[in-house]
Amino acid sequence: MGKNKLKYEKSPYLLQHSENPVDWNAWNDETLNLAKSEDKPIFLSVGYSTCYWCHVMERESFENEKIAKMLNDCFVNIKVDREERPDIDRVYMTALQSMTGSGGWPMNMFLTPDLKPFYGATYIPPKEKFGRAGFEDVIEQINDLWKNKKQDLINSSNKIFDLLNSGLKKKDTSSVEIDDRIFDKSLEIIKNIFDFNNGGFGLGNKFPRPVVINFLLAYYYFTGNQEALDMAVFTLKKMCDGGIYDRLGGGFHRYSVDLYWRVPHFEKMLYDQAQIASALFDAYAVTKKQYLLDYGKDVLDYVLKNLTDENGGFYSAEDAESAIEESSPEYKEEGFYYLWEKDQVDKILGKEKSDIFCYAFGVKHEGNTISDPHNVFKLKNVLYLANDVFDTAGEFYKTYDEIENILTECIKILLEKRNKRPKPHLDDKILTSCNSLMISAFTNGYNITGDEKYKKAAEKCCTFILNNLWNKKEKVLYHRYREGDVKFHSTLEDYAYLIKALIDLYESAFNVSYLKDAIDISGTAISKFYDKENSGFFDSEPSAEDIILKTKDIYDGAEPSGNAIMIENILRLGYINDNSVFHDIAENCIKYFYHETNNMPFSSPQMLTGILFFRNSPKEIIFTGEIKNSEINKIIRYIHGKFIPFKILIHADKQTGTFVPFVKKIITDYENVNFYICENQACKLPVNNLTDLKKII
């Protein structure tokens, strides 16, 4: 089988399709001009390398010679890695959701040569199946319409585009009043969809929503509302107990296909590890529940072991499916790497240990995968916490420590056995966005645990991003690095997450260069993305000619909204360097998005968190003295160990005063240890020991 044009690409997803008989092209000027010159519609297929249903559709349709010929004859075919081009993905996912009411990957869109969509779907079976139209029929029908009713399709695409574009028109925000009742209303909406039996939200597939946890914890901090805290902690507990967590190797799978967090789609995404770890550490800071800390550390350790490049960057994902044996790498099954039959466990562990292990982790002879729509799991088992150590100890008349030691030994033995199986595919792209989320997570992990390896990981990754993906001279941030190749101008999310990571890292390492870079990159982000006429940040640079829809999104999908994080960033920097312009931009953005947030708060919880920040003055903690001083370190450990949303933590020296004007107003002595606790630029008398600081913080 020959290769198509994707053979020249670096994306693991595109390379997976480089030997398809479909004449795939990458999204570039040459391809887009080809569609115009040949007056052919575009078939656009968007996915990512660890997407299970993308693999299914490839095997069923894109490796099918008959379907490939139909596609090649009728369309200019384009493959896009959504992780490389989130800007393209956002435009057409917005269109798909408006057309069908839902979205997902693979995303298959049919476009006119001027890039306007007229038909779209997610997974399409080769022939009619599950009540879905067959791909062969779809191709034939669209080709017939293009030949005989082309203008009708063009008119349809124009209507879709105009409808989508109408939502981006100027808004009158002059009468918008920010009302704190938005928070109470949002909590009630969250409660109405909260699953009080199983944690999480809704009664279908269970997705981790760390952005909701962020809001609930911040809301609890400012109101003392116990329900908010209980929903956050209960959800995290159920996630940690469920099969969505990899009990042997650590890390969280993408989502579960049932109510109970039991049976996951088995891919592991870097952005999930970053956000869930941070949520676990924050919840631990509030509650001091040890299991939250333990799981948070396990997630970071999983990333260090499995997703870390030797140069410091973090890889994007591990696949959901894997080969069932080395000799047949082309035959893969979802979850094969992670699932166990009871007979296997019995043979490996021996009866006595196996009985204990299987009782604790729900392993049964008949299998425990309560959701198996494609009949592939059969007698296999997902490991989940069916009975905790106390219950297991009671069942087998052993002590807690005895059961703990037995389970630890069993996990080690089974992990060694599992490591001999063919591993799932690793997507080794290094993305600015996900890596920045991970920097923040490792920083949070260091703040809570004091473990230096986490701070080193955060700083090494930050250095990698700044050296390889940030062109300081030209003020350009790039999105993707792989095998030395740097490509694609960054979107708002890259800038927003990196700025947040730099501020987080400064407040942990107190290296003023991080603060300088955060301020510098913020200025670049504002100049590139901020809509000076109407307010709000564009998701992509407005000058990008191949992005037909200039969106400003506050929806929190798998990752938080770039607008929400950017608002939090400029509020933080506004307080740090006394920049009223930043504060005004944040206020204008909040007003611009206020009605949308108020109407659909569950879709935009990170924006709610940003509004909480705006409505509540943060604690500004400024300290002086030698950073290595033992008393300073003791106090900082205490501060980091408390959950104080939006706090500003500054080490004041003469260099810092250049970036933090407020420092010069209150401090003349930079040598001695003093901690100033301030709000609204009003400070309490300084303290120089932990006992006194505890009384006022």
- Taking residue 400's Cβ as centre, other Cβ atoms within 10 Å add up to 13
CA distance 279 to 217: 9
- The average pLDDT across 328-340 equals 87
Give the 3-state secondary structure of 252-286. ECCEECCCCCCCEECCEEHHHHHHHHHHHHHHHHH
Structure tokens at 647: 């706090």
User: Could you write out the DSSP letters of every residue in 138-170?
Assistant: HHHHHHHHHHH-HHHHHHHHHHHHHHHHHTTS-
- The average pLDDT across 361-385 equals 89
pLDDT at 246: 98
**Spatial CA neighbour of 268 closest among 250, 254, 280, 247:** 254
Residue 328 in this model has a pLDDT that exceeds 80: no
CA distance 619 to 368: 49
* Beta carbons of 299 and 251 less than 8 angstroms apart: yes
First to last CA, the chain: 68
Residue range(s) in the chain whose domain bears CATH number 1.50.10.20 = 431-613
C-alpha dist (Å) from residue 247 to 267, 384, 403: 15, 7, 16
Counting beta carbons within 10 angstroms of the beta carbon of residue 240, is it exposed (0 to 12), middle (13 to 18) or buried (19 or more)?
Answer: buried
pLDDT at 375: 74
pLDDT at 217: 98
H or E element that contains 118: strand 117-121
CA distance 438 to 259: 28
The CATH classification of domain 617-697, taken from the options 3.90.10.10, 3.40.50.12780, 3.30.559.10, 3.40.30.10: 3.40.30.10
Which residues share a beta bridge with 649?
A: 621
* Beta carbons of 479 and 487 less than 8 angstroms apart: yes
CA distance 95 to 119: 9
Residue 585 in this model has a pLDDT that exceeds 80: yes
Helix (H, G, I), strand (E, B) or coil at 314: strand
Measured in residues, the chain has a length of: 697
pLDDT at 174: 77
C-alpha dist (Å) from residue 302 to 375, 405, 475: 30, 21, 34
pLDDT at 329: 67
520 phi and psi angles, rounded to 5 deg: -65, -50
Average pLDDT of the chain to the nearest whole number: 94
* Beta carbons of 283 and 447 less than 8 angstroms apart: no
Structure tokens at 539: 């998701």
* Beta carbons of 218 and 272 less than 8 angstroms apart: no
Structure tokens at 327: 């000799």
What DSSP designation does 486 have? E
Residue range(s) in the chain whose domain bears CATH number 3.40.30.10 = 5-166, 617-697
pLDDT at 697: 84
Counting beta carbons within 10 angstroms of the beta carbon of residue 270, is it exposed (0 to 12), middle (13 to 18) or buried (19 or more)?
Answer: buried
CATH dotted code for 431-613: 1.50.10.20
Q: What is the pLDDT confidence band of residue 331, given thresholds at 50, 70 and 90?
A: confident
pLDDT at 3: 85
Residue 167 in this model has a pLDDT that exceeds 80: no
Q: What is the pLDDT confidence band of residue 536, given thresholds at 50, 70 and 90?
A: very high
Beta strands in 371-460 (DSSP E): 380-381, 426-427, 430-431
Residue 681 in this model has a pLDDT that exceeds 80: no
pLDDT for 80-132, tens place per residue? 999 999 999 999 999 999 999 889 999 999 999 999 999 999 999 999 876 77
What is the separation of C-alpha 595 from the centre of its chain, rounded to a whole number of angstroms? Answer: 25
* Beta carbons of 13 and 47 less than 8 angstroms apart: yes
Residue 77 in this model has a pLDDT that exceeds 90: yes
pLDDT for 470-479, tens place per residue? 999 999 999 9
pLDDT at 327: 63
User: Could you write out the DSSP letters of every residue in 170-224?
Assistant: ----TT----THHHHHHHHHHHHHB-TTTSSBSSSSB---HHHHHHHHHHHHHH-
pTM for this prediction: 0.96
CA distance 597 to 124: 33
Structure tokens at 147: 């030949």
Match 């575009």 to its residue by tokens: 42
Q: What is the pLDDT confidence band of residue 465, given thresholds at 50, 70 and 90?
A: very high
CA distance 210 to 232: 9
Give the 3-state secondary structure of 84-108. CCHHHHHHHHHHHHHHHCCCCCCEE
Residue 258 in this model has a pLDDT that exceeds 80: yes
Q: What is the pLDDT confidence band of residue 315, given thresholds at 50, 70 and 90?
A: very high
pLDDT at 133: 84
* Beta carbons of 384 and 361 less than 8 angstroms apart: yes
Check: CATH 3.40.30.10 for 5-166? yes
Rg (CA), the chain: 26
Lowest-confidence range among 31-35, 160-164, 391-395?
160-164
**Spatial CA neighbour of 509 closest among 588, 627, 608, 343:** 627
pLDDT at 168: 72
Return all residues near 124 (Cβ < 8 A) that are at least 6 apart.
57, 61, 108, 132, 133, 134, 135, 138
